[in-house]
Structure 1
Amino acid sequence: LSMVAGQILGGVLVAADIAGTGWRSVFLVNVPVVLVGLFLAARAVPETRSQHPEPVDGPGTVLLAVSLLTLLAPLTEGRAAGWPLWTWLSLAAFPFAAGAFYAVERRADRQGRTPLVPPSLFELTSLRRGLVMIVPFSIGFSGFMFVIAVALQQGAGRGPVAAGLALAPMAVVFFFVSLAGPRLVARYGTRVVTAGAAIQAVGVALMALAAWRSWPDLGLVELLPGAAIAGAGQALQLPVVFRIVLSEVPAARAGVGSGVMITTQQSSLALGVATLGTLFLSLIPTLGMQDALVTTLLVQLAGVALTGLLSLRLPRTIG
């Protein structure tokens, strides 16, 4: 809900063009959110302190940051910059940075310390398989959000507010379907996730069909069936997968377990904009906006199929 709401509020801010800032004003949406968050945290979050606080994993933190930077920076900026030498050097450095990060974390884990990402945590089947599924799901979600916003505004000529509102049905349906998620999981187990992937695939296919048939008259009405069905499918996947990832994590490691999960999700979201966004923008000069959008949606559809296949490896029940 918040991701789609951010898309709509971002459209409002862009349309408002505060002090001539244009698209840059979208960053202002964080200001009231942070202020409200600080107020609610001070009022509602109880004070807790560890009896045996662990030191910060400095080497692991630095190496994780370097790993993510060497991967995401060139993928995000490479196309716009014309793929200069530094982008290739950065990508070449990524496996070495990631390998060094893993080695440092494994050593700290074996020595009984608390690393940033304990490799022993991945021995948990539910966590390992759930994280693997989060990657393609998040890549597809963020890539879609970026691509559809660009296509609706620059291709279909919609304003930023109208482009944001076109995704509102997805958020509304996601909200109501997710409420039924716990009951469905209790009855059918994790096969609900597989069903969710199949439903999302139908929704993405309908949006690709709408883009192919209705372009450039593409907006809320044309995207409504596909967006609503895709939202229902997503609601049967993401909340359940989050629950699966954390289901076997010991209470003492709940913090690091949730941290690993959210870091995986956020990194994958950034990777989705970098990869699907780059694909979409690279196809426009040769195929045109319509065919580039349809092609990118079909690539996302393949990603949805992958999440469906990966869901078959999830534990049948959640502990």
Structure 2
Amino acid sequence: MLSGLGLFTVLLGAALPLIDFFIVNVALPTIGRDLNASEAVLELVVAGYGVAYAVLLVLGGRLGDLFGRRQFFLGGMAAFGLTSLACGLAPSAWTLVAARVAQGAASAAMLPQVLATIQAATAGPRRAKAMGLYGATAGLSMVAGQILGGLLVAADIAGTGWRAVFLVNVPVVILGLILATRAVPETRSQHPEPIDTPGTVLLAVSLLALLAPLTEGRAAGWPLWTWLSLALFPLAAAAFYFVERREDRQGRTPLVPPSLFALTSLRRGLIMIVPFSIGFSGFMFVIAVALQRGAGLGPVPAGLALAPMAAVFFVVSLCGPRLIARYGTRVVTAGGLIQAVGVALIALAAWRSWPDLGVWQLLPGAAVAGAGQALQLPVLIRIILSEVPSARAGVGSGVMATTQQSALAVGVATLGTLFLSLASSDGMRDALVTTLLVQLAGVALTTALSLRLPRTIS
């Protein structure tokens, strides 16, 4: 069984990769000046991490099932600490990009073991509570990463400047490794299967073909390779599906078993988490750019502008398990409606107050949006994995995390591209409001999809 200290340790491991996806948003201007990096290279600092992370998540889950989840959790966490150190000491922009890609790979080894361990080492009310805490940790980490990034850059600890956003991981990882060796139990699949090499390669090609041009296309000026890559994506995705279906029919275990998608809760939850994550990450990126480049705020006030969202998210998410027990998945629908009100209030504040946009102007909308998000994300994660058998916990966790991470990367790419393109032609205020309205449409879609969720969660 997973003890309280063990749960804290694996949740710490879950927080680190998500914090690091967002922590660089407010540090990018400083990194660009210090390393003389172009905008395209700066986008690679973000995209290199996100793409490597997304591409390898399912494989990380399968390897944990095969060789032991605790072992892979420890190895992934140690690698995350070393690659964070490499990022913090990077002498050039391209060295930083390479270190970020390696850091993303380390995250992919560590994160799937968190959910898989919770699935395999808890049951009943303890599992429901643990899954609720995981969801709360995930959402809070994404907001807190941006706040922490601003504080660390401005603090300039011992003259480290932006490097502190990566170096801060090192002592946290050391603590996590000490705790994990004592408190995290070893679990693995009772019937481990060999690695599905064709499926692994085709999934990697599919995700790279989609995410690489979306994340780098705008900064690179949409060269020919970006369009060829996007054209390759549906072909690679179709090949992946047919290979996985063939493996399943022949009695072997594919990387992503198509039979998993027969689970209604997993299938509908994954469909919902895509627009939610696209809107979440797109908003976080756009608001960081708008507040620093447009409203003229420094990294600290730009980060602290999201503090109300983080605080309310944390408080409301703790109430999630009790609300689910009483109202079922209707909580998700209510959360979508509440988030829609919050996003609309942020858009109104941007329209009326620009360029004097800061924590006080954003507070009502950010707080309301945070409450709505807290009623959705933790519950969606629990729904997605509710029917996945323990033997496939690593695969199910990897599929969920890959879908979420890919959507996060797409959100930064699509909403970020929309915002930056409009800002150059229509001005920063109109670009921000328009992007928020697009996000609002995504919230409406998520809310509509929530009506098709099963009413109760096992």
Superposed pair shares fold, TM > 0.5: yes
How do 1:164-313 and structure 2 match up within 5 A? 164-313=303-452
Q: Deviations over 1:99-143 (max 9, x none)?
A: 111112111112222222111100111110000000000000000
How do 1:4-83 and structure 2 match up within 5 A? 4-16=143-155, 23=162, 26-83=165-222
CA–CA distance in structure 2, aligned partners of residues 36 and 268 of structure 1: 31
Task: Report the AA paired with residue 304 of structure 2.
Answer: L
What residue is the counterpart of 1:144 in the other structure?
283
Gaps of 5+ in 2: 1-139
- In the TM superposition, what is the alpha-carbon distance from 1:318 to its structure 2 partner? 1.2
- In the TM superposition, what is the alpha-carbon distance from 1:32 to its structure 2 partner? 3.7
Q: Deviations over 1:188-218 (max 9, x none)?
A: 1111100000000000000000000111111
CA–CA distance in structure 1, aligned partners of residues 173 and 212 of structure 2: 26
Residue range with higher mean Cα deviation, 213-222 or 2-11: 2-11
SS in 1 for 2:388: coil
Q: Contact 1:10–1:29 (CA<8 Å) still a contact in 2? A: no
Q: Contact 1:9–1:29 (CA<8 Å) still a contact in 2? A: no
Task: Return the match for 2:228 from 89, 109, 120.
Answer: 89
Q: Contact 2:189–2:391 (CA<8 Å) still a contact in 1? A: no
* Closer/same/farther in 2, CA of residues 57 and 36 from structure 1, 3 Å limit: farther
Q: Contact 2:280–2:408 (CA<8 Å) still a contact in 1? A: yes
What residue is the counterpart of 1:106 in the other structure?
245
* Closer/same/farther in 2, CA of residues 230 and 13 from structure 1, 3 Å limit: same
TM-score normalised to structure 2 length? 0.67
CA–CA distance in structure 2, aligned partners of residues 31 and 58 of structure 1: 33
Q: Deviations over 1:60-109 (max 9, x none)?
A: 12211111111111111111111000000110111111111111211111
Q: Deviations over 1:151-175 (max 9, x none)?
A: 0001001111111111111111011
Task: Report the AA paired with residue 14 of structure 1.
Answer: V
CA–CA distance in structure 1, aligned partners of residues 191 and 266 of structure 2: 26
Residue range with higher mean Cα deviation, 59-68 or 165-174: 59-68
* Closer/same/farther in 2, CA of residues 161 and 197 from structure 1, 3 Å limit: same
Q: Contact 2:385–2:397 (CA<8 Å) still a contact in 1? A: yes
CA–CA distance in structure 2, aligned partners of residues 224 and 32 of structure 1: 33
Q: Which runs of 4+ in 1 moved over 4 A?
A: 16-25
Task: Report the AA paired with residue 314 of structure 2.
Answer: F
* Closer/same/farther in 2, CA of residues 238 and 35 from structure 1, 3 Å limit: same
Count of aligned residue pairs for this structure pair: 319
Task: Report the AA paired with residue 373 of structure 2.
Answer: Q
TM-score normalised to structure 1 length? 0.95
CA–CA distance in structure 1, aligned partners of residues 160 and 262 of structure 2: 49
Identity %: 86
CA–CA distance in structure 1, aligned partners of residues 187 and 442 of structure 2: 41
Q: Deviations over 1:8-67 (max 9, x none)?
A: 121123334578876565343443443333333222111234454321222212211111
- In the TM superposition, what is the alpha-carbon distance from 1:240 to its structure 2 partner? 0.8
Q: Contact 1:200–1:304 (CA<8 Å) still a contact in 2? A: yes
CA–CA distance in structure 1, aligned partners of residues 381 and 444 of structure 2: 19
Q: Contact 1:211–1:218 (CA<8 Å) still a contact in 2? A: yes
